[in-house]
Amino acid sequence: AKEVGRSDWQLYSPLMDSETYKSYHLEKGLRNALLQDEFFIEYQPKVHTNSREIDSIEALIRWNHPEWGRVSPEDFIPLAEETHLIIELGDWVIQHVCKQLQQWKNQGLQIVPVSINVSSKHLLKSGFVEHVQQTLAHYNIDPSFIEFEVTESSIIQYEEHVKKVMDELKKIGVTFALDDFGTGFSSLSHLKDFEFNTLKIDKTFIQHATDKGKQQAITKSILYLAHALNMKVIAEGVETKEQLAFLQKHECSFIQGYIVSQPAAPQKIAEYLKKPFL
Ligand code: C2E
Ligand code: CA
Ligand code: CA
Ligand code: CA
């Protein structure tokens, strides 16, 4: 019981239902999940808009909790970001992606690059570059098969340092994508300074791209800008034929979204790699 205000005692703390309480349990669950092997990875294809040939795939982490069932990364990634866990989780993803690429290679499949979402907190951890290099070497994967996706909001805080790490990784052949483009801040200067290989237009723009409103105008301008800067552009979250038609009309070269494929298990991806037109 906790004393609140004047002389009344509260037997039931409203904290029990609060976000704080929920995140406390989630965080405990997360720590345990790493030990209990509750994570796995699904991969979502990115394809050439017109030919539908697979270009690359994005690794998306999944958590299957024995009691809670599937927990969305939208819920646990932000929490992991607040703690050291994002680094352990990120290392887990990088290692498993490399291992998966090696397995596909051993099955005789023609592999494609995999993009991995990475937190700037992880990127900035000392030894990150060496660790990535060691993992790639261990699984015998060429660095050009790895792309890191970073969000604008995550690079904003330690710009100089992030840029330095990115430059070191680019030097060995790893590429970088700017994720969720359009949702962050001061986007234009970041495009100039960081030299991302790829720009991913956030799905909120794509979902409104056919509305003829401001978001459509923004989407068109992003495409125009990316082309002018010679960047590879990917529209994410493409769901409808109308959205697809819009992107074709405005020459967006790559698409990703449910209209092509949901994030899928490695076995499904192996089928795609054998028959690479989706
Ligand atoms: P994101 O990187 O922007 O990933 C795209 C999200 O959109 C994914 O959600 C994907 O499943 C979903 N998506 C794909 N196509 C469609 C579509 O056509 N329509 C709609 N409505 N959604 C689509 P998911 O897998 O739940 O991941 C959510 C976020 O969690 C990711 O957003 C990313 O920020 C984070 N995340 C996921 N996996 C990892 C990871 O391994 N490491 C880190 N640091 N973050 C991750
Ligand atoms: Ca992403
Ligand atoms: Ca995204
Ligand atoms: Ca997102």
**Which position has the higher pLDDT, 149 or 9?**
149
Predicted confidence (pLDDT) per residue in 144-190, tens digit: 999 999 998 888 888 899 999 999 999 999 999 999 888 876 567 78
Query: Is the CB of 77 inside a 6 Å radius of any atom of ligand 1?
Result: yes
* Å from CA of 150 to ligand 3 middle: 9
Q: Tokens for 26?
A: 């989630």
3-state secondary structure of 205: helix
Closest Cα to atom 2 of ligand 1: 117
Contacts of 262 (CB under 8 A, 6+ apart): 44
Q: Tokens for 135?
A: 């993992």
Query: Is the CB of 200 inside a 6 Å radius of any atom of ligand 1?
Result: no
At 152, the amino acid letter reads E
* ipTM of the complex model: 0.98
For position 1, what pLDDT does the model report? Answer: 44
Predicted confidence (pLDDT) per residue in 87-101, tens digit: 999 999 999 999 999
Q: Give how far Cα 91 sits from Cα of 60, 117, 122, 254, Å.
A: 14, 11, 9, 28
**Which position has the higher pLDDT, 276 or 140?**
140
**Which position has the higher pLDDT, 49 or 16?**
49
Backbone angles phi, psi at 117, to 5 degrees: -75, 125
Query: Is the CB of 61 inside a 6 Å radius of any atom of ligand 1?
Result: yes
Query: Is the CB of 202 inside a 6 Å radius of any atom of ligand 1?
Result: no
For position 182, what pLDDT does the model report? Answer: 82
CB atoms under 10 Å from CB of 195, counted, come to 14
Nearest ligand 1 atom to the CA of 60 is: 38
For position 26, what pLDDT does the model report? Answer: 85
User: Residue 54 forms beta bridges with which residues?
Assistant: 47
Closest Cα to atom 19 of ligand 1: 237
3-state secondary structure of 176: strand
Q: What's the pTM value of the predicted model, to 2 decimals?
A: 0.92
Backbone angles phi, psi at 233, to 5 degrees: -115, 135
Query: Is the CB of 257 inside a 6 Å radius of any atom of ligand 1?
Result: yes
